[in-house]
Amino acid sequence: MWAASCLASCCAACACEACRTAVGSIGRRSARIAYCGLFALSLLTSWVLREVAAPLLQSIPWINHFHKTPDREWFETDAVLRVSLGNFLFFTILAGIMAGIKDQKDPRDKIHHGGWMAKIFCWAVIVFLMFLVPNGVVSFYESISKFGSGLFLLVQVVLLLDFVHGWNENWVAKDEQFWYMALLVVSVVCYIATFSFSGLLFHWFTPSGQDCGLNLFFIVFTLMLVFLFAIVALHPKINGSLLPASVIALYCTYLCYSALSSEPRDYKCNGLHNHSKAMSTGSLTLGLITTILSVVYSAVRAGSSATVLSAPDSPRAGADKPLLPFSKADEEEAKKDVPKPVTYSYSFFHLIFSLASMYSAMLLTGWSTSVGESGKLVDVGWPSVWVRMATQWATAGLFVWSLVAPILFPDREF
C-alpha cells in the first residue's frame, strides 16, 4: 500500500512537471499560441458552466436573491457573463502591465512570454472571484459588452481589409500572366458564390405569403453594395482590382446571412426556424468551435499586424538608419549593445483578447437579450441582427474609403 502511494505521488509529480515544462516551452516558442489556448479554455469553461452550473447558482444567496427564482436560462447567462468578466479583467490587467514595452530587455517582456503556471493560476482565481461579485456588477458588464463587441467586430473589419489589399498587391507585384489569371479566377468564383448565396437568402428569409420588408431591404441593399464595390474598383481614376471588391462583396453577403439567421426563431420571416428546433448538440458544438476559431484568428492576426500593432521602435515600424555606416566590427559591437525591439504591441494584443471576451459572451448568451427566445442557440436575437448589419455597413464604408482616399488626398500616405 505504501509503495503504491509513493508510486502514485511520483507519477503525479512527474505529470505536473511535464505540464509545467510543456506550457513553458510553448510560451517561449510563441506566446500568442499559449494565450490563444488560454482564451479557448475560457470559452470552453463558459460553455460547460452554461450547461451545468445553473443549479449551483440557484443555491447561492447573493446571486439568487429574488423573491421569485428566475428561469434556468437566466442562470446560464449569468454563468457565461461572470466567466467572461473574469477573462476581460485578466487580459485588461495584462494590457495595462505591458503598456509601453519597446524592446526585449524590458523586464515585462519575460512576464509576457513566461510564467504560464502563475498566469493560469491568476486567471482561475480571477474567474472564481467573479462569482462572488453582486449581480449589479455583472449587469453593468453585460451593458458595456455590447459596445466592446462592436469594437471587436470593427477590428475584424480593419484586419480583413488589410489582408485583402495585401493579398491583391502580392499577386500583382509578381507581374506574371499566371497570377493575373489567378486574380481573375478567384474574383469570378467569389462573385458566383456571392450571387448564389444571395439567391439562397431570398429563398430562406423572404418566404412567400409573408410581409418581410425588412429582410428584403437587407438583401437588396447588400446586392447594391456588391455592384457599388465593383463600380468603384473599376473606375478609371481608382484603377483598382476586382479581387478585393469580390472578397469584400462575399464577406458582406455572409454578414447579411449571419444577421438574418440570428433573427428570433419564432419570427415568421426566418425560414430556418423549422430546422432550428431540431438542432442537435453536435451542430451546437460546431457553431461554438467556429466562433472560437473566428475569435482566435482575429486576435492572432491583430497581434501580428504590421500596420496596426507594430511598436514605435520595431523593425516593422521603420527605425531610422544612421547617416554614416559603421564598420563590421562596430556593427557587431552595436548589435550586442542594442536590445532587440518587440515586433508587435503586447498591450494592444491583450486588449484584443479583452474585447474578444466581451464578443464571445454576447455570442453565447444571444447578446443577452430575452434569453427565453434564444434558449440553447448560439448568437440569436435582434441585437445580434443589428450589430451584424451595422458591421456590414461599416465594412462597406471602410472599403470604399480605402479606394477613394488616395485619390482625394494624394499627398497623404494610407
Dump pLDDT digits (tens) for 262-277. Answer: 787 777 888 776 554 4
Q: Indicate if the pLDDT at residue 326 is higher than 50.
A: no
Dump pLDDT digits (tens) for 25-71. Answer: 555 457 778 888 898 899 889 888 888 888 888 888 888 887 777 77
For the chain, what are the domain ranges?
135-279+378-413
Dihedrals phi, psi of 341, to nearest 5 degrees: -75, 155
Q: How confident is the model at residue 342 (pLDDT cuts 50, 70, 90)?
A: confident
Q: What is the CA radius of gyration of the chain?
A: 25
Cα separations in angstroms, 170 against 157, 175, 176: 20, 10, 11
Considering 33-37, 219-223, 256-260, 325-329, the range whose residues carry the highest mean pLDDT is: 219-223
> Taking the CB of residue 142, how many other CB atoms lie within 10 A of it?
21
The residue assigned the cell 469594437 is 151
Q: Please indicate whether residue 47 or residue 12 has the higher confidence score (pLDDT).
A: 47
Dump pLDDT digits (tens) for 118-169. Answer: 999 999 999 999 999 988 898 899 888 888 888 888 888 888 888 888 888 8
Q: Residue 59 has which C-alpha cell?
A: 443555491
- pLDDT, residue 275, reads 52
Geometric angle at alpha carbon 276, from 272 and 281, rounded to 5° = 145
